[in-house]
Amino acid sequence: MSQLDIQVAYDVVCPWCWIGKRHLDEAIAQLDFKDEVRVSYLPFQLNPHVPREGMVRADYRRQKFGSVERGAELDAQVAQAGAQSGVTFRHALMERTPNSTDAQRIVWRQQSAGLAERPLLEALFSAYFHDGKDVGDRQVLAEIASQHDENLSVEQALSFLESDAGEQEVAAQQEALRNAGIQSVPSTIVGQYYVPGAQPVEVLVQMLSEARAQQTDRSASH
C-alpha cells in the first residue's frame, strides 16, 4: 500500500497553524496506518507585505485590525483555543511581527535535505509564540535550524540564509497554492479532500480515514 500524502499550507507566524499542527499530529497518532502517512508543509505567507526586516507588532496589529484593543481580543481568543490544544501562547513577549520568508526557507532546506520537518516547525512555532523570539531574525533561525540538522552548524545556517538559496522555490510553492485557490492557512489537502482552518482532531481523523479508504479502493480496482 502506498503512503497517504497530506499537504498543509502554513505560515510560521499564524497561531492557528500551530494549533492545527498539534491537532494533525494528534489525529495521525490515532490512526492504525500512522506509519504510512507522509505530511508535507507548504509555505504560504499571510502577510507578504510585511517588510523583510519585520515590524513592531503593536504597529502591525493596529494597521491590520484597526486598534491595539481589537488585536488583544483576537490574541485572547487564540490563547484560549491554544490552551485547549495543549499549546501556550505568550503574546506579551511578542514584540515583532516578522516577515516569514527566511523561516520558510529554513523549512524548505530541511525538506530538501530529506530531514523531518515537523519537529523543526514545532520549534519555530514555539520560539515565536511561546518564547517571543523574532523568527525573522537570521541568528535566531540559524540557531533553531542547527538544532534540527546534526550536520549543520549555526555558521552554515547563517551563510545559507544570507544566500538566496530557496527564495525562488519558496515563492514558486506559494504561487502554486494561490493559483490552486488557497487563500488562508492552515489549509489541509489529502486526496480529494480540502479543509481550511485548524480543524478538530476528530474531523481530521475522519477525513484521513476516508481518504485512506478511497486510496485502498482505487488500488484494489487497478
pLDDT digits (tens, 9 = 90+) for 9-21: 999 999 999 999 9
Distance CA 182, CA 192 (A): 14
Least confident of 1-10, 95-104, 153-162: 1-10
pLDDT at position 222: 64
Is pLDDT of 221 > 90? no
197 domain residue, yes or no: yes
**What's the number of domains the chain is made of?**
1
Residue 31 inside a domain? The answer is yes
- CATH classification of the domain holding 132: 3.40.30.10
Task: Tell me whether residue 166 is in a domain.
Answer: yes
Burial 111-121 (b: 16+ CB within 10 A, else e): beeeeebeebb
Residue 70 domain-assigned (yes or no): no
Residue 92 lies in a domain: no
What are 22-72's pLDDT values in tens digits? 999 999 999 999 999 999 999 999 999 999 999 999 999 999 999 989 999
Domain hosting 122: range is: 4-46+99-221
Look at residue 56 and tell me if it is in a domain. Answer: no
Contacts of 129 (CB under 8 A, 6+ apart): 15, 18, 82, 87, 89, 90, 91, 94
Q: What would the pLDDT profile of 79-88 be if each residue is shown by its tens digit?
A: 999 999 999 9
Q: What is the per-residue DSSP string for the chain?
A: -PPEEEEEEE-TT-HHHHHHHHHHHHHHHT-TTGGGEEEEEEE--S-TTS-TT-EEHHHHHHHHHSSHHHHHHHHHHHHHHHHHTT----GGG--EE---HHHHHHHHHHHHTT--SHHHHHHHHIIIIIT---TT-HHHHHHHHHTT-TT--HHHHHHHHHS-TTHHHHHHHHHHHHHTT--SSSEEEETTEEEES---HHHHHHHHHHHHHHHHHHHHH-
Q: How many residues does the chain have?
A: 222
Report the mean per-residue pLDDT for the chain.
Answer: 96
Supply 167's cell numbers. 527564495
Question: Quick one: pLDDT band at residue 218, thresholds 50, 70, 90?
Answer: confident
Residue 179 domain-assigned (yes or no): yes
Name which of 37, 9, 81, 31 is nearest 206 in CA terms: 31
